[in-house]
Chains A and B, each alone.
Chain A
Amino acid sequence: MVPEFLIELRDFISQPWPWWVGGPMIVLVMFILLYFGKEFGISANFRVMCAADGADELADFFKFDWQSQGWNLLVALGAMFGGYLAAHYFVSPDGNVAHVSQATIESLNALGFDYEYGKVPLVLEYYDWPYLFTLKGLLIIVGGGFLVGFGARYAGGCTSGHAISGMSALQLGSLYAVIGFFAGGLFMTYVLFPLIFG
């Protein structure tokens, strides 16, 4: 028998988390890593994976002590376990729904997404193998992945490294990076989305 309090705890965790829980939890993650003498930054793993793949023989950028970065791969592995747990054991009472606003539903409808309020799935339908063989799916997965990997390393970090760690440490470079993230995101959203989804 599972003790009652564990079921209650599970139900408690399973509710959608408000922003004021999310932000402090991310800071907790950052703080624990700092306490372990590490810096929170997920995209650094791409460079580690490149180097581990032998890219250091091809470009100087990958000649670094990648074995000392193993801890970061473990964080990424943990994030995968976390995703598995959340998706299988902490499902919200109303299902895997993204609780987006009415205004967002209207913007989605304008782009051709046929969703009603309260019924937007948490996960985009294009995240599936058959869509990889459609132009949109290929753009989202392969194009998006390439841009994220290229841009994160060019900028020296991603959302975790710059927007959270860097801004918390009052780094001007991180502020520039976040301005860049938003400039790129807005350009994609307002200029390129109508071409891609229109």
Chain B
Amino acid sequence: MMRMSRYILVGIIFGVTMYKTEAVSWFRIFEMFHFQAFHMYGIIGSAVALGILVVQWIKKQHLKSVEGQEIVIPDKDTSWKRYIFGGFIFGLGWALAGVCPGPMFVLLGAGYTVFVVFLLAAITGTFVYGKLRSKLPH
């Protein structure tokens, strides 16, 4: 139970953060893609800057996870096609819907029940990708 509740707690921190920074707002995403405010760039930029320091620190310290194993962060593929093409399709959806996967769960919990349909559409998209995967450039 302890093991389960800790993940829920992390999710709660994440959800409140997404909501209170207005990252769940279609209008904030709209503003970001118009380069009209620093806000979203500040969130992502400060997260990446601090994140780089944290990851470097983890590696240097050979920090162990709670289970006692050294924390390893697996490298991603070195190709570029899947990232550019897949990223482009994701970006179309991000700007159109105004939510990426995290905020979608946050808004669903906030009471916008129509996101059940969004979730089903996203699962369908994932499923169609799974079916087409061998035919797509990666």
Interface residues of A (CB under 8 A from B): 13, 16-37, 39, 42-43, 45-47, 49-50, 53, 55, 58-59, 61-62, 71-72, 74-88, 90, 98-101, 103-104, 107-108, 120-124, 126-129, 131-132, 139-156, 158-160, 162-174, 176-189, 192-193, 196
Contacts and interface: CB of A to CB of B under 8 A. Distances in A.
Contacts of B74: 39
Given A123-B25, A124-B98, A173-B78, A77 B11 contact: yes
Contacts of B66: 35-37
A189 B30 CA distance: 7
Nearest to B138: A154
Given A29-B17, A85-B15, 19 more contacts: A23-B50, A29-B10, A36-B67, A53-B123, A74-B8, A83-B107, A128-B114, A144-B94, A145-B121, A149-B125, A150-B93, A155-B89, A156-B76, A165-B51, A173-B77, A182-B33, A183-B84, A188-B91, A189-B30
B93 A148 contact: yes
A86 B4 CA distance: 22
A169 B36 contact: no
Interface in B15-68: 15-34, 36-52, 54-55, 58, 63, 65-67
Contacts of B82: 154-156
A111 to B, nearest CB: 9
B65 A82 contact: no
Closest 3 CB pairs of A and B: A78-B11, A82-B15, A180-B87
Interface of B: 4, 6-34, 36-52, 54-55, 58, 63, 65-67, 69, 71, 73-80, 82-102, 104-115, 117-131, 133, 136
A37 B111 CA distance: 31
Given A47-B126, A153-B130, A79 B105 contact: yes
A96 B115 CA distance: 18
Contacts of B20: 13, 16-17, 22, 86, 90
A27 B47 contact: yes
A142 B131 CA distance: 19
